[in-house]
Structure 1
Amino acid sequence: MRAIRIMPNLRVDDVEAAKGFYTGFLGLSTEEFNMGWVARYTSPETGAIVQLVTRDQTSPEDAAISIHTPDVEAAYAEAQRLGYEIVHPLTTEEWGVHRFLVRAPDGTVVNIVGHDS
């Protein structure tokens, strides 16, 4: 698998209530998207990034990080071949990403994601 972008997913109770700290104090002033339950903020100067997540909409567990890859199908096949626990199967979500969630051997849930062309 080839990771092209890695971002933390921070669990928050309320995206709107939390975003001021990250956008103002930390300077992550660009809101890439906000779906109410998940939002991504970046710094236009540095590229620093964070996602705020209240609760994953389709997975039974929340991911600690999201990893973007250009070939999510190959990553899924590799995770299965290696015997990793698939927490959420390979799915094209209604918001346009192709993803699955996998549990790392240390117990961390990881969101592996690609964008449909």
Structure 2
Amino acid sequence: MVKTLNKNGSPRKIGSGKTKGAGCYANVTWSQLKSIIGENTMIPVSRVWMNNLGFTPKPISKKMKHPPPPEKKTKLDKDLPKPKVTHINTKPANKADTKEIEANHEYEPPPLFATEEPEFGLY
């Protein structure tokens, strides 16, 4: 058996390529297709196949006509009722006093690890 070569001259890997019996198409009956596909469904088929059957399709416009969307009507007959106020946020009066205390207080950051002076004389 002769080995097939690649373009660069190296032998082709065994098992690569189309296997015997492999194909892109499947056999389906017309009744099976009718149960799945509607009458107005577009099905892509080969022009060569259609010409061999003697069928010449009518030119199809790609734009489909859609009905205009219905107009939205808003009701302005009645005024909306005013909402009832159930809760009013009030700020405490002593809030300003706490800010002044915080401004006068000096901030001390927490101690960091290994910030103490090393004691080399211990060892």
Q: Same fold (TM over 0.5)?
A: no
With the length of structure 1 as denominator, give the TM-score of the two structures. Answer: 0.19
Name the structure where strand makes up a greater proportion of residues: 1
Q: Which has the higher contact order (CA 8 A, sep 6+)?
A: 1
With the length of structure 2 as denominator, give the TM-score of the two structures. Answer: 0.18
Name the structure where helix makes up a greater proportion of residues: 2
